[in-house]
Amino acid sequence: MRKLVVVGHGMVAHRLVEAVRAEDKDGQWQVVVLAEEARPAYDRVALTSYVDTWDPASLTLEGADYAGDPLVELRLGDTVASVDRERKIVVTEAGHEQPYDTLVLATGSRPFVPPVPGHDLPGCFVYRTIEDLDAIREAAQRPGRGRRSAVVIGGGLLGLEAAKALRDMGLSPHVVEMAPRLMPLQVDEGGGGLLRRLITDLDVTVHTGTSTDAIEPDGERYIARLGNGTELDVDLVVFSAGIRPRDDLARSSGLEVGARGGILVDDTCRTADPAVYAIGECAAVDGKVYGIVAPGYAMAEIVAARLTGGEGTFPEPDMSTKLKLMGVDVASFGDAHAATEGALEVAFNDAVAGTYKKLVVSDDSKTLLGGVLVGDASEFNTLRAMVGRPLPAEPGAILAPAGGGAAVGVDALPDAAQICSCNAVSKGAITHAITEEGCDSVAKIKGCTRAGTACGSCVPLLGKLLTACGVEQSKALCEHFTQSRAELFQILQATRITTFSEMIDRYGTGTGCAICKPAIASILATLGNGHILAGEQATLQDTNDKFLANLQRNGTYSVVPRIPGGEVTPEKLMVIAQVAMDFGLYTKITGGQRIDLFGATVDQLPLIWRRLVDAGFESGHAYGKSLRTVKSCVGSTWCRYGVQDSVGLAIELELRYRGLRSPHKLKSAVSGCARECAEARSKDFGVIATDKGWNLYVGGNGGATPRHADLLVSEVDTETLIRTIDRFLMFYVRTADRLQRTAPWVEEMEGGLDHLRAVIVDDKLGICEDLDAAMAKHVGDYADEWRGVLEDPEKLAKFSSFVNAPGTPDPTISFRTERDQKVPVLLGIPEVKQ
């Protein structure tokens, strides 16, 4: 058996090991992976998402520990110090000597830190690893006065990712970029101009066309001196100014490196030493280093093929990029900067909608060479796959905002067009999997071809290919109902069925499941079927709705009283404070202008809510698939920039739509001027004031897949605004799929925003009167769920930790103290020393 030693364990190294194990049918290779980091390979591309959870496991690549594979040995934290090519041995820093028959260097890259005076001060960081983010987080959480700020040196892809992470940590970020625009490698001047405006609107201050001359300590803070004379007063500095190949091992072992770094390899990724390969960001193929993951994956596949008796050479890599920065779509593909001789550029810039689209075409305007998309990258996958191929329509027709999408449908792509660039999967391979191998779902296509298993950007095209191949994709809610959620809504509305049991007897099969029961319970609640804990309804709810509270990780619950618009009297604040003190609850101000009280046990919930209800509070529905909050700035009441009463409108909207059960949670906001302090465009429906009325934006989402909301109507009066929101919400409640947020609902709607506007503004389908009546009924029938519990002894009886011993506390729940508040004791988390 031959020994394959892999130095490094990043994404590309992991892909190599996976590919070798998949192709090595006879088990000829024993693989030893020597990793510098103390954790298995993780998704460094998604590093910024770590800020959402602070859970390293959420980034770990599937199967990266190789558990149960006797032919792979993973040694974490075992850094290689040198390579003896004559003896074919690598030596680790611990002194361990590891022989090899073939060596693959996958050492990646290191962040480039410009030699700026002060770059090594304690408050300066790089943005590359989980440990880097942990260090930045620790610095960001240090006590300080007022809003803390930071500066990111570098306005490229990673720089803007770092700015987003800092903003999510509660800091006000500055971005400094030497080039005249942000992301200079990916976007052109037009796209860069729009990108700057969109990023600035998101509370990030941008400084382009200038350098950073020095970082100087200033008490406990720092002064960043820029080349244009600007001085930035910041709490920390993050360098994200590019990367450099880690080619030290190659240099010290006598392997040749490129003029600008990188281990020189040929088109099979082999060095001058036939026993040594290099892949990923440390490798220079024909002298060129690639800093994105897709070419690295291609290198890994080539080396795996060579080691297992196959062929393959490094192709011209796809350097296309698509990302969402703070909710802003940015994409570039092919010859984005029109470097090809005779190339022509066709651009469409819609400043009002916040979109920029450019196509680069051949001199006869018939062949697509590349393009840039900012603000809306929905056509990226299709356009990228067409690079180097004839256009199906005039470039202007493709870019036109009305009707252009049909010109670049999936049918226009040839079989050779690459759908998944991460795994080099063509349209032909996918259609073969569908038509010849029986892949009748996106999940099966992923398993068969690996398309869509890396960055996931090509997944929407997989669904379109299924449809194009004649595969009818099931809309069934679950195995018990063949109908979609929207169809079930129509059935319940038309038949006036009021129980799940009757519904499944007449229109379903079996006894139901955790999918259909809460979904139908939600529809019944929307249609005004009484209290959700009354009778059979109580048995249908999921955990949160069952106890009208959010279940937390240690088995306790959180309590969130409604505070419309964030406005609350001192007397009510005192009630919340006293309840928190009496029940020993962890207290936190939420991002939606509310107060969250954590740590309540089931039996305490009625006691807590009785005091809150008596004080005038009601359920904030933090547990339900319903309206959460309508956030607001202080508007014209206090702010010198405000042009409308945003607080008053926010309160009116929250009280109007409270308790509306929907396919997923709903969030809203009202900003009193165009400065957008309430962040209305990241909400399911958001309102921004103008000096002539209100602008309504819909379909936004600030969650796992951020998306800016789209402008539906502009400069309308309050009555028209509310009527339009009524219809938007009711149309969404009736037609969206289970657990579908408004963002994908709008995106997937045939005809998109134009169709939505035609239905709820122009009454194209003639249903607006019905939608208006449905919302009026909801508003008229609303009753606070927790008050309903407190007034009903039968419902109160459900709130007990132990049915056979009411009032007995749960002995499995315990707490520790952190920052003077109690937090759950969880396995593996030690007591924090105060």
Beta strands in 9-88 (DSSP E): 29-34, 72-75, 80-84
What b/e readout covers 202-214, taking b as 16+ CB neighbours within 10 angstroms? Answer: bbbbbbbebebee
Give the three-state DSSP class for 91. strand
E strand or H helix at 600, and its extent? strand 595-600
Q: Annotate 487-551 with DSSP letters as a single string.
A: HHHHHHHHH----HHHHHHHH--SS--TTHHHHHHHHHHHTT-S-TTSTTHHHH--HHHHHTSEE
HSE-CB for 494 with a 13 A CA cutoff: 7
Beta strands in 341-393 (DSSP E): 344-350, 355-361, 368-374
- With a CB cutoff of 8 Å and minimum separation 6, the contacts of 610 are 790
Residue whose structure tokens are 């009785």? 610
Annotated ligand binding at 282? The verdict is: no
Annotated ligand binding at 513? The verdict is: no
Look up residue 595 and give its DSSP letter.
E
User: How are the residues of the chain apportioned to helix, strand and coil, as percentages rounded to the nearest 5?
Assistant: 35, 25, 45
Please state, in angstroms and rounded to a whole number, the distance separating the CA atoms of residues 37 and 506. 58
Annotated ligand binding at 458? The verdict is: no
The token pair that represents 819 in the structure block: 């920052």
Annotated ligand binding at 516? The verdict is: no
Please state, in angstroms and rounded to a whole number, the distance separating the CA atoms of residues 579 and 614. 12
Give the three-state DSSP class for 269. coil
Pairing assessment for the beta strands 80-84 and 236-239 based on DSSP bridges: unpaired
Q: Within 10 Å of residue 343's Cβ, how many Cβ atoms?
A: 16
Q: Within 10 Å of residue 227's Cβ, how many Cβ atoms?
A: 14
- With a CB cutoff of 8 Å and minimum separation 6, the contacts of 594 are 560, 561, 562, 563, 566, 620, 622, 629
Q: Within 10 Å of residue 34's Cβ, how many Cβ atoms?
A: 22
Comparing CA positions, the residue from 37, 36, 44 lying closest to residue 15 is 44
Biggest CA pair distance of the chain? 84
Sheet holding 236-239, edge to edge: 124-126, 236-239, 149-153, 172-177, 205-208
Residue whose structure tokens are 């393009």? 371
Please state, in angstroms and rounded to a whole number, the distance separating the CA atoms of residues 599 and 815. 9
Give the three-state DSSP class for 238. strand
The phi-psi region of residue 728 (left if phi > 0; otherwise alpha if psi is between -120 and 50; otherwise beta) is alpha
- With a CB cutoff of 8 Å and minimum separation 6, the contacts of 255 are 85, 263, 264, 271, 272, 273, 276
Give the Å distances, CA to CA, from 471 to 414, 434, 439, 441, 716. 19, 8, 9, 8, 44
Q: Which residues are annotated as a binding site?
A: 633, 639, 673, 677
Q: Which residues are annotated as a binding site for siroheme?
A: 677
Q: Which residues are annotated as a binding site for [4Fe-4S] cluster?
A: 633, 639, 673, 677
